[in-house]
Structure 1
Amino acid sequence: MNHILAAAVAGSRPGLNMTIFVIFVVITLGIVIRAGRDNRTAADYYTAGRAFSGVQNGIAISGDYLSAASFLGIAGAIAVNGYDGFLYSIGFLVAWLVALLLVAELLRNTGKFTVGDVLAFRMRQRPVRAASATSALAVSLFYLLAQMAGAGVLISLLLGVSGDLGQNLVIAVVGAVMIVYVLVGGMKGTTWVQIVTVVLLIGAAAAMTFWVLGRYGFDFSALLQGAVDHGGKNGAKLLGPGVSYGKNGASKLDFVSLALALVLGTAGLPHVLMRFYTVPTAREARRSVVWAIGLIGVFYLFTLVLGYGAGALVGPQKIAAAPGKSNAAAPLLALELGGPVLLGFVAAVAFATILAVVAGLTITASTAFAHDVYANVLRRDGGNEVLVARITAVVIGALAVIGGILAKNQNVAFLVALAFAIAASANLPTILYTLFWRRFNTTGALCSIYGGLAVTVVLIVFSPAVSGVPTAMIKGHDFHWFPLANPGLVSIPVSFALGWLGTVLSREHDGAKYQEMQVRSLTGAGAEQAVRH
């Protein structure tokens, strides 16, 4: 196996790659340190003092979103599964319409730092804040698994690392650098790194896209034919559905489940929702989403070309033999197109993007604990809140390293889809009920969050994603009984139902508070006073 892995990265130059990698890390660390000098208050650390414009925040949101899942996972899924792999892109993009129309402006007007602020506005503060923080931590950790796995693949390719021990060490180093980003830069430093890296990432993807098309005379049909010709046993199936989904009834349901999770999950992702608080007004929050949709949409068109280009020019056999398997498709395509220099540049840009994403996730998770649990449940006076957030970031970074090691050979886009399922089940029903249902109360919120989270995690643990199939996280064991790899089809309706049931079984009701929140969410009246408070 080792000689196969060595062949997969043949042609790369570890010394050159290491130099490019170090340059990118030094530059981004410099940005973080410079931006982090102004972090004096909780608002500075959590939301960058709400000083970013809608355009800047939209670009940063794109940086949060166009991570390992988009560049590595989706390109790899298209290279291996063709049409079925591109379905990830469609789901990820359509999901932003839900965030734009139902969530972005209303949350910005109602909250302060976290979703827990929104829930606590009209419900009993301590229990809903604890529940919201628990959900945010769970979603963030699952999302971090994907990013850490993707970073491990990139650095393995950069440095020619092929053994398990070497890849595990790489993931640990990634975790350490990410922790430094969070401790020093806070949200402001992370945002500027995201802006810089996403511009570089989209630029690199655009250049590779035109390079691939140029190989085929800018004839997209010829590119697709090349992917079919070099696609091996699945080559003839790459242009239509069925390679990954549609083979039987269970796989068809799995596709529906995946689609639900992707479309509904974005509006429940805590690190995306927290971005709406980094702008000064609700109008800028809405503008952020519009810019994010445009940039993300363009990038996903690039991944369609990159995925089929990797299938045509690299081939599924070489991709399957590389460290990280399908996640290596885009870097191997860069090596094929431009040699070691392009591989080093593209992998370093993607790695810097992943660092920014994991930093944003870690800030979100640490904010959820420090602000919602420590400051408003345990202490209730806000003392040392930022210090607690930084300590929490270190703990979360360590957990992310352990999880990334366990999940390093999973497709990154698939891992992100599991995080989306948790977000869509545990967060979105509660957010929508809180914003739009007058009768909703604390009991309903707790049932929806804890119930949705528990159902989703249990179904994931006992699904084929964890055991029972060759691609499972845990090899050699089979304890799965739930047939779907993604639980969204079951967990999302169950969470909505639990929120409704808990509400109707409780006598708690505060119509006046709901009316106050509705006025604030729709008009922004009183929102700035709440922020200053």
Structure 2
Amino acid sequence: MTDDHQTLALLLFSGFVAVTLAITTWVSRSRHGSAVEFYAGGRLFSPMENGFAIAGDYMSAASFLGVTGLIALFGYDGLLYSVGFLVAWLVVLYLVAELVRNCGRFTLADVVAARMTERPVRIAAGTSSVTVCVLYLVAQMVGAGSLVALLLGGTSGAARTWTVIGVGALMVVYVSLGGMRATTWIQIVKAVLLLSGAITLTTLVLVRFHGDVNALLSTAAERSGHGDAYLAPGLKYGADWTARFDFISLGLALVLGTAGLPHILSRFYTVPTARAARRSAVWAIGLIGSFYLMTIMLGFGAAVLVGSDAVRASNASGNTAVPLLALDLGGGADSTGGTVLFAVVAAVAFATILAVVAGATLASSASVAHDLYASLRRPGGKRRSEVVVARVAAVGIGAVAIALSLLARDLNIAFLVGLAFAVAASANLPVLLYSLFWRNFTTRGAVWSVYGGLVPALVLVVLSPVVSGSPDSIFPGVDMQYFPLENPGLVSIPLGFLAGWLGTVTSPEVPDEAKHAETEVRALTGAGAV
């Protein structure tokens, strides 16, 4: 990439960082320091504002760069990623949005512990929430390091290392100083930037084809090198039955995992009522749906205007499809328009990463302070403010995420994101649904459900071909592959539900009917919600 590309991208990115730091500084001066302010932004956001923030939290760099690249390379099979990410929001809207807002205060554990023995449930739910968030953070920060090489021309290991450290330091500043209010406004700004960039690129692609989508699809098939197979299922996941089961596993993780992501669930606590939570989800569905429709156009546009071979030559996994498309749409690599459009895409990608890591860091630090610290603190020990603990936890989680990202900087970003979704769907979703809808659910069932999904998900990944046993593995020289699928969701998600059922039916505990009735009334009506 030319020096002009790098300079413009750095200027735009620096401008976004300056604006977001100004927001954080302003919020840190005006905040009151209460738990409600730090965790939930005072519950003062409107449904539209929260909907934009949810969209900003959900639409990660993996979606903007990764999904578009997969569509450019694999056509129909790549498109199914967009479908999975979008359909997941129907689960959120119809099953959890309102009920979570009514039953909880700040975290997932609040909902589960409402009618259980709090200490073991909070420890289990807090552990799984932190695990999911850290996996999500590592994926985003590995993406940040890769973007230096892909978008700014930084090919050295030192450049990637300092980028990861810089992103980690910024996310700690955002969360520890500004809390939920600053994080929300950063996500809103990022959502507007990302949607504006996607609309601009999509419009330019459609203008090239005079609005004829059919011509775009047929030309993409011709240039893909695969012919009609490019627009049919099976190009990426149809080689054998293992690949097909792997796709089913990934689809389950994507569709069910969203409802168990801690940083998404925490967004429903930032609005004043359950009705506002539902309307927030509707806003989010509209914005996210529009974005993923545009990624489809951008993916096929990259296949036509850049070419699948050129995309693959630049990056084997297709992560450079969007910037290469921006260069072409702007007039080419040597043109001013191409340089400007490329720089905008680079800045938007970095803004996307910063906003997502801020949300995940806040959710994980809330789980540490509100769930783990409150449960593990010695009875006679000095009680510290949860907000202080959360700020310290943000620093610690940032340090852990930076260290893991540096170790995992050569891993596949999409795999890390898929793993986070699989763990969320395996450990968090079963216990959440059982707590909300099963009258006889017990404390043992809740604890077994969390660990029964969390542990198998992590163990199966270690035993999968992603870690060892193949030339593309993390450790190609080692062979401890005993599980054939790359994503564990197909096995670990049912195990999470099964463990919750088994723990409940074998538990000697008699469910408290009064507590269940109180929780049910609160979930459905909002009576007593805070």
Give the TM bin, normalised by the shorter chain. over 0.9
> Pick from 99, 102, 116: which aligns with 2:95?
102
* Structure 1 residues 53-452: aligned runs within 5 Å: 53-232=46-225, 234=226, 236-322=228-314, 325-338=317-330, 339-378=338-377, 383-452=384-453
Aligned length: 519
Answering whether residue 9 of structure 2 is matched by residue 24 of structure 1, we say: no
TM-aligned CA deviation for residue 250 of structure 1: 0.6
Which amino acid in structure 2 is aligned with residue 427 of structure 1?
N
Deviates more, 1:37-46 or 1:308-317: 308-317
CA distance in structure 2 between the partners assigned to 1:235 and 1:203 by the alignment: 32
Unaligned runs of 5+ in 1: 1-8, 529-533
Deviates more, 1:418-427 or 1:469-478: 469-478
Contact 1:12 1:335 in 2 (8 A): no
TM-aligned CA deviation for residue 257 of structure 1: 0.9
TM-aligned CA deviation for residue 384 of structure 1: 2.4
CA distance in structure 1 between the partners assigned to 2:73 and 2:158 by the alignment: 27
Answering whether residue 36 of structure 2 is matched by residue 43 of structure 1, we say: yes
Deviates more, 1:370-379 or 1:208-217: 370-379
4+ runs deviating over 4 angstroms:
379-382
CA distance in structure 1 between the partners assigned to 2:403 and 2:79 by the alignment: 30
TM-aligned CA deviation for residue 27 of structure 1: 1.3
Say if 1:475 and 1:84 are closer, same or farther in 2 by CA, change over 3 A: same
Contact 2:224 2:307 in 1 (8 A): yes
Name the residue aligned to 1:519.
521
Task: Give the match's secondary structure for 1:230.
Answer: helix
Answering whether residue 476 of structure 2 is matched by residue 484 of structure 1, we say: no
Which amino acid in structure 2 is aligned with residue 81 of structure 1?
F
Deviations 1:356-389 (A, max 9, x none): 1100000000100111111343157862221211
CA distance in structure 1 between the partners assigned to 2:34 and 2:321 by the alignment: 43
Task: Give the match's secondary structure for 2:319.
Answer: helix
Name the residue aligned to 1:5.
none
TM-aligned CA deviation for residue 10 of structure 1: 5.5
TM-aligned CA deviation for residue 156 of structure 1: 2.8
TM-aligned CA deviation for residue 351 of structure 1: 1.1
Which amino acid in structure 2 is aligned with residue 368 of structure 1?
S
CA distance in structure 2 between the partners assigned to 1:405 and 1:327 by the alignment: 19
Deviates more, 1:398-407 or 1:375-384: 375-384
Which amino acid in structure 2 is aligned with residue 439 of structure 1?
N
Which amino acid in structure 2 is aligned with residue 76 of structure 1?
G
Say if 1:11 and 1:296 are closer, same or farther in 2 by CA, change over 3 A: same
TM-aligned CA deviation for residue 407 of structure 1: 4.0
CA distance in structure 1 between the partners assigned to 2:61 and 2:480 by the alignment: 29
Contact 1:17 1:340 in 2 (8 A): no
CA distance in structure 1 between the partners assigned to 2:401 and 2:112 by the alignment: 27
Which amino acid in structure 2 is aligned with residue 287 of structure 1?
R
CA distance in structure 1 between the partners assigned to 2:325 and 2:161 by the alignment: 24
CA distance in structure 2 between the partners assigned to 1:350 and 1:159 by the alignment: 12
Which amino acid in structure 2 is aligned with residue 367 of structure 1?
A
CA distance in structure 2 between the partners assigned to 1:166 and 1:453 by the alignment: 34
Deviations 1:144-185 (A, max 9, x none): 122112222333334211233322332222212222111221
Which amino acid in structure 2 is aligned with residue 19 of structure 1?
L
CA distance in structure 2 between the partners assigned to 1:162 and 1:131 by the alignment: 41
Which amino acid in structure 2 is aligned with residue 359 of structure 1?
A
Say if 1:131 and 1:184 are closer, same or farther in 2 by CA, change over 3 A: same
CA distance in structure 2 between the partners assigned to 1:180 and 1:321 by the alignment: 38
Say if 1:366 and 1:26 are closer, same or farther in 2 by CA, change over 3 A: same
CA distance in structure 2 between the partners assigned to 1:164 and 1:241 by the alignment: 38
Deviations 1:41-78 (A, max 9, x none): 11111110111011111110000111112101111111
CA distance in structure 2 between the partners assigned to 1:72 and 1:37 by the alignment: 36
TM-score norm. by structure 2 comes to 0.94
Deviates more, 1:250-259 or 1:329-338: 329-338
TM-aligned CA deviation for residue 321 of structure 1: 3.9
Name the residue aligned to 1:6.
none
Name the residue aligned to 2:334.
none
CA distance in structure 2 between the partners assigned to 1:69 and 1:517 by the alignment: 37
Name the residue aligned to 1:465.
466
Name the residue aligned to 1:510.
512
CA distance in structure 2 between the partners assigned to 1:464 and 1:517 by the alignment: 43
Say if 1:198 and 1:222 are closer, same or farther in 2 by CA, change over 3 A: same
TM-aligned CA deviation for residue 280 of structure 1: 0.5
TM-aligned CA deviation for residue 324 of structure 1: 7.8
Contact 1:48 1:188 in 2 (8 A): yes
CA distance in structure 1 between the partners assigned to 2:417 and 2:243 by the alignment: 19
CA distance in structure 2 between the partners assigned to 1:125 and 1:228 by the alignment: 56
Deviates more, 1:159-168 or 1:274-283: 159-168
TM-score norm. by structure 1 comes to 0.93
Deviations 1:217-263 (A, max 9, x none): 2222222233233324x455321111210110111111111111111
Q: What is the root-mean-square deviation in Å for CA atoms of aligned residues?
A: 1.8
Unaligned runs of 5+ in 2: 331-337
Deviations 1:74-122 (A, max 9, x none): 1111111111111111111111111111111111111111111112211
Contact 1:154 1:331 in 2 (8 A): no
Contact 2:45 2:271 in 1 (8 A): yes
% identity of equivalent residues:
56
Which amino acid in structure 2 is aligned with residue 418 of structure 1?
L
CA distance in structure 2 between the partners assigned to 1:421 and 1:95 by the alignment: 13
